[in-house]
Chains A and B, each alone.
Chain A
Amino acid sequence: MASRTETFYDVMRRQGISRRSFLKFCGLTSAALGLGPAWAPKVAEALETQPRIPVIWLHGLECTCCTESFIRSAHPLVKDVVLSMISLDYDDTIMAAAGHQAEAILDEVRETHRGEYILAVEGNPPLKDGGVYCLPGGRPFKDTLTTMAADAKAVIAWGSCASWGCVQAAHPNPTQATPVHEVVTGTPVIKVPGCPPIAEVMTGVLSYMVTFGTLPELDRHGRPKMFYSQRIHDKCYRRPHFDAGQFVERWDDEGARKGYCLYKMGCKGPTTYNACSTVRWNDGVSFPIQSGHGCLGCSEKDFWDKGPFYERLTTLDPLFVEADADTVGGTAALVAGGAIAAHAGVSIARRTAQRRNGNGTGNGTGTGTGKGQGPGHSDTGDSATRG
């Protein structure tokens, strides 16, 4: 385990990073966090003086795409440094150690860094049947999670699994996969949703916490505001086509070739809070919409159940199977219209019949003419006594 007094700067220098490169990193980090150039020296000072934060990285019910994304953190310097900035003491998927000694690290960190370490959680715990559907190290994941979270400084819920439940929690959620914030109580949870989250977003959140020793400002749903306060749509480079009314109507049409808006093809950019259209992926190379495919909304709650991915309107499963709001509403309106027409027809027929029976002489007396003509009811007394 790393020394408790070693700073980030020490680690970096030990790894052969020059002071010049270090200061460049500090400048980049403060820019990435939206802090401006004035903050670069403060970032540097923090990294020179703060001890490294121990991080425990747990894996529950997940696919490891978060880790895959994280280890591809695009800027080489960021990747090298962030892996050194934190003291990643436990990560069962990528660490070399294994067996009882590896598992013992969990207890050791919990004892020695009580209330100081960050618990990074990838995946979520399935609660059904005592949690037997996820047993890393032979122990229900929910037990490991709650034990480790109780003594952590903060919990980072990596990805949509930990934040919202993701595919394993999609209807009908057979294992009762449950997002981390519903299991962990008493410890602040930061959601970093996405399937996976953008690498630079992950490292950015860690950088912030390491630099300032506090949690980043979170929104209503517990997501860092600096990366999740705007929708993909708000910063999409195809937005002018949306406002103009220029849409891809089919995958092989002229609009698709010209890079029109993918709204009609089911793009979930207008309802998805993420940084894809600004930070992009793979060192800023591209993101789904730039590649001609709509956003799936992977960082949103229950995005698997808000399909189809290629239709604008969401189906109302399981309420109405495979039917969207227009199908349900339109059908209901049609039924209502039919009922109104039928009711009007009966009303007219009965009125005509009343007239024919000799009671329809005066328009002025209105409808008080058809007494006793209604089928099989007695309205005597009832109508006259109440008023």
Chain B
Amino acid sequence: MSMHIGTGIHAADATAGDASVDRTSIYVYEAPLRVWHWVNALTLTVLAVTGYLIASPLPSVPGEASESFVMGTVRFIHFAAGYVLAVGWLGRIYWAFVGNHHARQLFTFPFWRRSYWRGVIWEANWYAFRRAEPKKYVGHNPLAQFVMFWVFMLGMVFMIATGFALYAEGEGTDSLLYALFGWVFAVFPNSQSVHTWHHLGMWALVIYSMTHIYAVVREDILSRQSMISTMISGERMFKDNRDD
């Protein structure tokens, strides 16, 4: 394999112990998808914090009611972030149609493909320390796709539906939002149940985010491809050129 280092590299920084390999790089995540990812991460954080504060409000403020708008502000931020999240989600769905095929992976689940399930088991074994090395993947690995689809994607749909249903209650039962999301109350006739499940959904996404961040850091270090920088530059870099 030939080396293409290029000129102008700071050769003085390289020591004898450094190994140099030819890297393969594939452009995976296009710009709109990357922007969506980070906007979504930010709004999810804002939504989780403000959502928690709606369920368990801050200590009472003194003075006239007309002088403060603490709960109102927390709720406004929650609703505004909710709109950003939902619009971003619509954009994400649009991008699944017009973007490259990696943009569709989040919304598809190859339930009937046998090789997919073998891949899930393979990756699970890698996480259970029963494999010394994972395989290389351009998109999500099979285990990641499992969690992305069943927890993140469906979780987002659930949170957007229940969230806008609750918001529609304030808008009024004759509002457009209620016409769009009022069906949630056919599933949960008591609005209190929608609050409870929406709250549980928050915890599910919090646990998802913890796992997600741990997995990308770990994969970035231990796997055979880049992870974190891929969601910044869009380039998936492979650390070796061996076959799987």
Known: A268-B192, A329-B203. A384 touches B244 (CB 8 A): yes
Interchain CA distance A243-B69 in the complex, whole Å: 6
Counting chain A residues whose Cβ lies within 8 A of the other chain, the interface size class is 35 or more
In chain A, residues 185-234, which have Cβ atoms closer than 8 Å to a Cβ of chain B? 219-221, 225, 229-231, 234
- How far is the CB of A240 from the nearest CB of chain B, in Å? 4
Known: A368-B133, A371-B133. A264 touches B57 (CB 8 A): yes
- How far is the CB of B217 from the nearest CB of chain A, in Å? 8
Contact with B169, one of A231, A313, A344, A373 (Cβ below 8 angstroms): A231
Q: Does B239 sit at the interface, judged by CB under 8 A?
A: yes
Interchain CA distance A328-B202 in the complex, whole Å: 12
* Chain B residue nearest in CB terms to A382: B122
Contact A313 B55 (CB under 8 A): yes
Contact B61 A244 (CB under 8 A): yes
Cβ contacts A335-362/B at 8 Å (1 or 0 each): 0110010011011001100000000011
Interchain CA distance A246-B115 in the complex, whole Å: 58
- How far is the CB of A190 from the nearest CB of chain B, in Å? 16
Cβ contacts B51-88/A at 8 Å (1 or 0 each): 00001111111100111111110100000000000000
Contact A325 B173 (CB under 8 A): no
Contact B195 A271 (CB under 8 A): yes
Contact B182 A220 (CB under 8 A): yes
Which among A246, A302, A328, A365 has the greatest number of chain B C-beta atoms within 10 A? Answer: A246
A-B contact number at CB 8 A: 199
Residues of B within 8 A of A324 (CB): 196
Interchain CA distance A261-B68 in the complex, whole Å: 14
Contact B61 A306 (CB under 8 A): no
Contact B72 A243 (CB under 8 A): yes
- How far is the CB of B61 from the nearest CB of chain A, in Å? 5
In chain B, residues 205-244, which have Cβ atoms closer than 8 Å to a Cβ of chain A? 206-207, 210-211, 214, 218, 221-224, 239-240, 242-244
Contact B65 A225 (CB under 8 A): no
Contact with B71, one of A244, A303, A333, A350 (Cβ below 8 angstroms): A244
Contact A329 B202 (CB under 8 A): yes
Cβ contacts B167-205/A at 8 Å (1 or 0 each): 001101110000000100110011111011001101110
Q: Does B7 sit at the interface, judged by CB under 8 A?
A: no
- How far is the CB of B128 from the nearest CB of chain A, in Å? 9
Contact with A329, one of B72, B170, B206, B222 (Cβ below 8 angstroms): B206
Contact A221 B185 (CB under 8 A): yes
- How far is the CB of B113 from the nearest CB of chain A, in Å? 13
Cβ contacts A264-281/B at 8 Å (1 or 0 each): 100010111100000000
Can you offer 5 A-B residue contacts whose CB atoms are under 8 A?
A271-B192, A306-B190, A325-B202, A344-B214, A364-B20
**Given A297-B192, A302-B190, A366-B223, 7 other A-B residues pairs in contact with their CB atoms under 8 A:** A240-B66, A244-B72, A247-B60, A270-B191, A300-B191, A340-B211, A343-B218
The 7 closest A-B CB pairs, nearest first, are A329-B203, A245-B70, A362-B19, A366-B239, A271-B191, A325-B199, A243-B72
